[in-house]
Amino acid sequence: MRLRPERTVWRLARPYLGRLLGAGLLAAGTELAGLALLATATWLLVSAADRPPLDTLTVAIVAVRALAIGRGVLRYTERLAGHDAALRVVTEVRTRVFAALAARRTAAPQRSGDLLSRLVSDVEAVQDLLLRVLVPGAAAVLVGLLAVLGASAVAPVAGLALAGGLLLAGVVLPALAAVLTRRTAARVAPLRGALAGDAVDLTAGAADLAAFGATRAALDRADARARELAGLERRTAAVGWAVDGLGVLLSGATSAAVLTVALRAGVDGVLVGVLAVGTLAAVEAALALVGAARHWARLRTGLTRVADLLAAPEGTPETPTGTFARSPGTPETSTGEPAPSGEPGDGSGAEEVARRWHCRVEEVSLRYRRPGPPALDGVSLDLPAGSRVAVVGPSGAGKSSLLGVLTGMVRPDHGRVVLNGVDLPDLPVDRLPGIVGGLLAEAHVFHATVRENLLLGRAGATDDDLAGAVSAAGLLDWVRQQPAGWDTIVGEDGGQLSGGQRQRLLLARALLAAPAGILVLDEPTEGLDPGAADAVLASATAHAGPNRTVLLVTHRLSGLDRYDEIVVLDEGRIADRGSHAELAGRPGWYRDQWLRQTDAERDYLAIST
Ligand SMILES: Nc1ncnc2c1ncn2[C@@H]1O[C@H](COP(=O)(O)OP(=O)(O)OP(=O)(O)O)[C@@H](O)[C@H]1O
């Protein structure tokens, strides 16, 4: 077995060696005080029957009290000194790990859940290695040696029997425990990291998962991981229980062996009792090595990850620990796990794909806080299948709230949304994502490949579907330029993409959603320059096709002349509605805004040419 991670810890702990040695000696002192206490108390009990001289008795009684108090004091100071040394080492390690992660993040960002797991659990492995393995391990070895010497002084054969028992308890049993624990332990740390990543995705990406009907699949995946982790931990606990049982058996057997050989060697009766009890205490101290070995085996994965991180050159890419959807043609996710059941977008179904959807929003009112102004106040819209409707208005007018109501994310206080004659709440929740879907405000990009992010929009999408949507969003050239193509990792929340590329990826994913239903687009061209924004909006609207309704929320008014109706919202109410030509031709918010934007763009073009 290569001890590279331990060597890394050793190197980092070297400046604190004096403190660690002190803690080890104090731990050995505690064990020795315990052993001496048992031996003296036994001697006192056994010899009291023979009525020894009072001064001898008094000395033994004082010794028992002093050892009992001393043991407590030693234990306390050992804990204090050990933690002081270990926490100093851990502070150093955590600083270095943080610096290493920060340096690598620029080149190969990892999932924040995994980063957190590295910074917390893996670094704690270093602390545990020092406090639960090295210090008690060193103390057990020292106490064992001194106990063998003590027993040999009484009778060499007794020393030999004790040495045999201590070898079994302190070497064979710990090795067995380490081997049995290591197999499961190697899988626990990465699984914990992946589970932490799942937690981040389930919280940060909750709205998107719900919008695309992928919440169940993501929850199932996290649940499967949690169950696997629980199973592994149960197995580790069972191994621990079995090894502990063997330890107790061994302790009794060693004591019996020492007792037998000491009696055969003609050792005095009182001393035989002292030897037997002292043996129990010495074996118990040696059994601490079993716990230390188990901890060591469990800590190795975390230690290895810390050592790798501190040793790796900056920017070494790593494979992400979790993925989302997967290609229908791909048998496994990139983590090698089986495919999750209930793929996102299942709700789209053949029935939804074939049907055209007529949507009516009737007198919808919504108030988030009471008292407080309404976010929506009696809003009505008619969205015939295949229509193009844009919702505009000043910031805070209620545009995103309207999309929230339409996608079922927010329940209105009054009014209703009717889809092909059915009230929205009466539709099964898993069908809604197949009918209404798209790009919502604060959309989340998952730390997965381009393909997996897109398949969240429609799980069964073919490569042609993906290429069509990505091309409409103006990202196809970029995907083709990437060495990994569709399998390019985009980083957590698209951290490895530019703002515009991230937005285009989100738009492409939205275009894949609800293929024959209602496509909602909340600020799809945000962050793109005016020219690109116009081109992307035109191609995205065209990509929606004749059957799909498009409901666009935008601050940018250019390109809306291709829309059937524009609704101007203000303070939750419909302030105006009509075509672009009608609204731009009459006084009001729309015309003011239109003139302001065209002037600003003229200036922009003048400066940039
Ligand atoms: N989750 C919420 N809790 C409380 N109030 C909210 C919430 N979401 C929106 N609001 C409030 O409702 C009103 C409408 O917000 P909404 O996000 O729908 O406006 P918007 O027109 O989309 O604005 P913007 O153009 O700035 O995105 C605002 O006054 C906002 O503060």
| Ligand 1 binding pocket includes 395 (Cβ within 6 Å) | yes
- Dig out the tokens for 84 from the structure: 């002081």
| Ligand 1 binding pocket includes 396 (Cβ within 6 Å) | yes
Q: What is the distance of C-alpha 470 from the center of its chain?
A: 30
Mean pLDDT value of segment 138-160: 90
Question: Tell me, what's the pLDDT at 473?
Answer: 92
| Ligand 1 binding pocket includes 506 (Cβ within 6 Å) | no
Residue 230 has pLDDT above 80, yes or no: yes
Q: Which of 400, 439, 440, 567 to mutate to test the pocket of ligand 1 (most atoms within 8 A of CB)?
A: 400
- Dig out the tokens for 539 from the structure: 């191609």
Are 391 and 552 within 8 A, CB to CB? yes
Q: How far apart are the first and last CA of the chain?
A: 66
Q: What single DSSP character describes residue 95?
A: H
Question: Tell me, what's the pLDDT at 103?
Answer: 52
| Ligand 1 binding pocket includes 397 (Cβ within 6 Å) | yes
- Structure confidence at residue 332 as a pLDDT band (50, 70, 90): very low
- Dig out the tokens for 474 from the structure: 């103006």
Amino acid at 28: A
Q: Which percentage of the chain shows pLDDT scores above 70?
A: 87
Question: Tell me, what's the pLDDT at 62?
Answer: 92
Question: Tell me, what's the pLDDT at 1?
Answer: 55
Are 12 and 89 within 8 A, CB to CB? yes
How far apart (Å, rounded) are the C-alpha atoms in residues 410 and 260? 80
CB-CB neighbours of 306 under 10 Å: 27
* 32-54 tens-digit pLDDT: 998 889 888 888 888 887 777 88
Are 449 and 488 within 8 A, CB to CB? yes
| Ligand 1 binding pocket includes 399 (Cβ within 6 Å) | yes
Cα 368 to ligand 1 centre (Å): 9
Question: Tell me, what's the pLDDT at 333?
Answer: 33
% helix / strand / coil in the chain, to the nearest 5?
65, 10, 25
How far apart (Å, rounded) are the C-alpha atoms in residues 532 and 283? 76
* 549-597 tens-digit pLDDT: 999 999 999 889 999 999 999 999 999 999 999 999 999 999 999 998 8
How far apart (Å, rounded) are the C-alpha atoms in residues 251 and 256? 9
Query: Which residues is 382 bridged to in the sheet?
Result: 360
Going by CA atoms, what residue is nearest to atom 8 of ligand 1?
A: 401
| Ligand 1 atom nearest to CA at 553 | 22
Question: Tell me, what's the pLDDT at 118?
Answer: 62
Cα 394 to ligand 1 centre (Å): 11
Cα 566 to ligand 1 centre (Å): 20
- Dig out the tokens for 487 from the structure: 């399998």
* 13-37 tens-digit pLDDT: 888 888 888 998 999 999 899 888 9
Q: Measuring CA to CA, which residue among 389, 393, 392, 322 is closest to residue 361?
A: 389
What is the residue-wise DSSP string for 332-389?
S-TT-PPPPSS-TTGGGHHHHHH----EEEEEEEE-SSSSS--SEEEEEEEE-TT-EE
Going by CA atoms, what residue is nearest to atom 26 of ligand 1?
A: 395
Cα 401 to ligand 1 centre (Å): 6
Question: Tell me, what's the pLDDT at 338?
Answer: 33
Question: Tell me, what's the pLDDT at 320?
Answer: 38
How far apart (Å, rounded) are the C-alpha atoms in residues 119 and 124? 8
Q: Measuring CA to CA, which residue among 452, 414, 459 is closest to residue 433?
A: 459
Average pLDDT of the chain to the nearest whole number: 82
- Indicate if ipTM > 0.85: yes
How far apart (Å, rounded) are the C-alpha atoms in residues 520 and 551? 5
Are 304 and 5 within 8 A, CB to CB? yes
* 451-469 tens-digit pLDDT: 988 888 887 788 899 999 9
| Ligand 1 atom nearest to CA at 404 | 18
Cα 522 to ligand 1 centre (Å): 13
How far apart, in Å, are the Cα atoms of 375 and each of 379, 556, 568, 570? 10, 21, 14, 10
* 89-131 tens-digit pLDDT: 888 887 777 666 655 543 444 455 555 566 666 777 788 888 8
Q: Which of 376, 377, 399 to mutate to test the pocket of ligand 1 (most atoms within 8 A of CB)?
A: 399
Is the model's pTM score more than 0.80?
Answer: no
| Ligand 1 binding pocket includes 401 (Cβ within 6 Å) | yes
* 256-308 tens-digit pLDDT: 999 899 999 888 878 888 888 889 988 988 888 888 887 787 777 778 878 87
Question: Tell me, what's the pLDDT at 343?
Answer: 34
Among the residue ranges 33-47, 66-80, 186-200, 571-585, the one predicted with the least confidence is 186-200
Question: Tell me, what's the pLDDT at 335?
Answer: 33
| Ligand 1 binding pocket includes 378 (Cβ within 6 Å) | no
- Structure confidence at residue 354 as a pLDDT band (50, 70, 90): very low
Q: Which of 379, 401, 551 to mutate to test the pocket of ligand 1 (most atoms within 8 A of CB)?
A: 401
| Ligand 1 binding pocket includes 76 (Cβ within 6 Å) | no
Cα 571 to ligand 1 centre (Å): 10
Q: Is the peptide bond before 344 cis (omega within 30 degrees of 0)?
A: no
Name the more confident of 188 and 417: 417
How far apart (Å, rounded) are the C-alpha atoms in residues 443 and 213? 14
| Ligand 1 atom nearest to CA at 376 | 14
CB-CB neighbours of 529 under 10 Å: 11
How many residues in the chain?
609
Question: Tell me, what's the pLDDT at 339?
Answer: 33
| Ligand 1 binding pocket includes 398 (Cβ within 6 Å) | yes
Going by CA atoms, what residue is nearest to atom 3 of ligand 1?
A: 368
Going by CA atoms, what residue is nearest to atom 16 of ligand 1?
A: 398
Q: Measuring CA to CA, which residue among 406, 425, 391 is closest to residue 360?
A: 406
Return all residues near 81 (Cβ < 8 A) that are at least 6 apart. 19, 22, 23, 26
How far apart, in Å, are the Cα atoms of 352 and each of 139, 201, 345, 389, 404? 70, 28, 11, 21, 21
